[in-house]
Amino acid sequence: MTFSSDNLIGGERVPGAGAPWRAVEAATGSALEPAFASATAEQAERACALAAEAFDTYRETPLQARADFLDAIARNILDLGDDLVTRCMAETGLPRPRIEGERGRTVGQLRMFAEVVRRGAFLGLRVDPAQPERKPLPRPDLRLRRIAVGPVLVFGASNFPLAFSVAGGDTASALAAGCPVIVKAHPAHPGTSALVGGAIQRAVAECGLPAGVFALLFEEGIAIGQRLAADPRVAAIGFTGSRRGGTALMQIAATRATPIPVYAEMSSINPVVLMPAALQARGAEIGKAFVASLTLGSGQFCTNPGLVLAVDGPGLDAFLAAASEALPNVAAATMLTPGIHKAYCEGVAALESNPAVERVAQGQEGTGQQGQPVLFATTGAAFRADHRLGEEVFGAASLVVRCADTNELRAVLEGLEGQLTAALHMDPSDHVETRGLLPVLERKVGRILVNGFGTGVEVGHAMVHGGPFPATSDGRTTSVGSLAIDRFLRPVSYQDMPEALLPEALTDANPAQLPRSVDGA
C-alpha cells in the first residue's frame, strides 16, 4: 500500500521539512515506510490562515450541505478498505476486530453528527418577539442562535487511532458545529492519520467547500502542536491523551493574549464499587467479568477499571478468588508505543514496591512491548494515606481497596479526583445503601453505570464521556455523543435586527422550519 506522508494543507499535499522519521510497527519495533517529515512553522501558520479564511463561509453552509460533507467523510473512510485496517493494526498493535469495530464507530459517529446537523436543534434558536406596548418599557425584539466558535485544533489520541483521532469525535463535532479543523496527528500512527486525513481532504473537494476547512499536520515532537495552540486564529482545542500533555495545552491556552477553551480528556481510574448483596450473590461472576474489562485492549482505555472498592468480607474474597483464577489465563498484549509500555511498567513497579500494596494476581508474562496484566490490593486506610495510589497507571493494572465499612468506602470515594466513570455492581437489596453514595458519585464522575464496566462508550444522545478535572479539563461537557457539538458553539443575540439582515433561521418565515423556542416555549 502506498500513500502520501505529506501534510495536508489548503487542499494540497505539502511536504514537511527536517529529519525524516518513521512509524514503528508496535508488535516488532521495526520501522514502517514511508518516512514522515514534520510540518514547519510556516506550514502551521498557513493552515491557521486558511482555516480563518474558510470560517465565515463554512459556518454558513446550508445544513444539508454540511451534513452531506460529514456523510462523505464516512464514505471515504470506508472506501479506504483493508489498507486502513492493516496499517492501523501495524502502527498500534491492536487486533483486527478491534480496529474494524472502531472504524464502524467512527463512521457511525460522523453519520450521527450529520443527522444532528440536518435536524438543526443544535442551533438553539430562540425568539422573543418585540412587545412595543409593554409598560413601563417596551421590549425589544430578541433572536438568538448559536454559531461556530472558529477554527478548532484537534490532537488525536494514541489509544483510539480512529474514533478519537483524525476523523474522531472532536473533529466530527467541530465540523458539525461549523468549525474548520486543524489536526495535529499523533506521532504513533501517522500512516493511519494520513489515510484518514486524505479521506477528509477528498470530501472537502467533493463537497465544494473552502480548502481551509481541514488541515492535517505531522510532527514527531510537540513544538508545532504548541505553536498551533498559541495561534490567535485557533478558537478552541480538543485533546485526548496524558494529563501532562493536556495540562500543558491548558496552560498555553490560558496564557495567550486571547485565552481559549481546551477540551482535554486526560486521566481517570474509573472506580468500580461492589455493593454487599451483589458481592454475596455473585462475587465470583463479577470477578470474571472484571478481568475481561481490565484486560481489554491491553487496558489502554481511559475508561479502564483501575480501582475497585468494596467492604471487606467473604463476598470480596470470592471476587478476588475468581479474578485471581481468570487473570493468569490472560496473555500479555502489545502496547501502543514504547513510551506507553515504559510508563506502564514504571507504574506497576511503583505499586509493587509500595509496602501497603500486595500483588493479588497477574497475567502471563510478555516480551518486548507487551504489557503484563496485574491486580493489586490495599486497605482503605492505606489508600487514603497515600495519594499516589489514586494515580492512573495506563494499562491493564488495577487496585482493589478493602474497606472496613461503608463509611470508609464513602470516604475513599470522597477523596478521589474527578473521573470519567463509576461502575456500581448491585442487587435490589443494595439500593438503600447505594442511594447514599449517589450524591458523591454525581459530584465526582461524568457517567454512573450499573452492573457493567465503563469500557466501550456508546455513541449516543444521552452519553457523557467527560467528568471533573483531571478526567477532563472542563467537566461541563462531553467528548462523545451528540452533546459534544456544544463545545464548539457560542450564542449570539440579535436585537431589533431588520428581517432582511437576520440569519434565515431567525426570520419570521423560518423557511427550513427549524425547531426554535418562542417566548421560552
Ligand X SMILES: NC(=O)C1=CN([C@@H]2O[C@H](COP(=O)(O)OP(=O)(O)OC[C@H]3O[C@@H](n4cnc5c(N)ncnc54)[C@H](O)[C@@H]3O)[C@@H](O)[C@H]2O)C=CC1
Ligand Y SMILES: O=C(O)CCC(=O)C(=O)O
Q: Is residue 279 at the binding interface for ligand X, with CB under 6 A as the rule?
A: no
SS3 state at 128: strand
**Per CB under 6 A, which region of 260-268, 270-278, 289-297, 478-486 contacts ligand X?**
260-268
Rounded CA-CA distance 70/409 in Å is 46
> Min. distance of Cβ 164 from ligand Y in angstroms?
5
Q: What are phi and psi of 82, to 5 degrees?
A: -70, -20
> Min. distance of Cβ 262 from ligand X in angstroms?
11
Residue 362 half-sphere exposure, CB side, CA atoms within 13 Å?
13
Q: Is residue 214 at the binding interface for ligand Y, with CB under 6 A as the rule?
A: no
Q: Which of the following is catalytic: 91, 102, 219, 265?
A: 265
Q: Is residue 302 at the binding interface for ligand Y, with CB under 6 A as the rule?
A: yes
Q: Is residue 304 at the binding interface for ligand X, with CB under 6 A as the rule?
A: no
Per-residue mark of binding to ligand X, 155-174 (x: CB under 6 A): x-xxx---------------
Left (φ > 0), alpha (ψ -120 to 50) or beta: where does 29 sit?
A: left
Pairing of strands 262-265, 358-362: unpaired
The residue from 186, 227, 233, 447 that contacts ligand X (CB under 6 A) is 186
Per-residue mark of binding to ligand Y, 384-403 (x: CB under 6 A): --------------------
165 vs 482, beta carbon nearer ligand X: 165
> Min. distance of Cβ 290 from ligand Y in angstroms?
15
**What does the DSSP 8-state code read for residue 472?**
B
285 labelled catalytic: no
Q: Which long-range contacts does 55-62 make (Cβ < 8 Å, 24+ apart)?
A: 55/148, 55/150, 55/151, 55/179, 55/180, 55/212, 57/209, 57/210, 58/148, 58/178, 58/179, 58/180, 58/209, 58/210, 58/213, 59/147, 59/148, 59/178, 59/179, 60/178, 61/178, 61/209
Q: What part of residues 332-361 is at the interface with ligand Y (CB under 6 A)?
A: none
Helix or strand (DSSP H, E) at 280: helix 276-295
Respond yes or no on whether the N-terminal peptide bond of residue 34 is cis (omega within 30° of 0): yes
Pairing of strands 370-371, 333-334: antiparallel
> Min. distance of Cβ 220 from ligand X in angstroms?
8
The residue from 36, 55, 113, 160 that contacts ligand Y (CB under 6 A) is 160
Per-residue mark of binding to ligand X, 306-345 (x: CB under 6 A): ---------------------------------xx--x--
- The residues carrying an active-site annotation are 265, 302
Interacting residue ranges for ligand Y, rule: CB under 6 A: 157, 159-160, 164, 240, 301-303, 455-457, 465
Interacting residue ranges for ligand X, rule: CB under 6 A: 155, 157-159, 184, 186-187, 222, 225-226, 240-242, 245, 248-249, 265-268, 302, 339-340, 343, 394
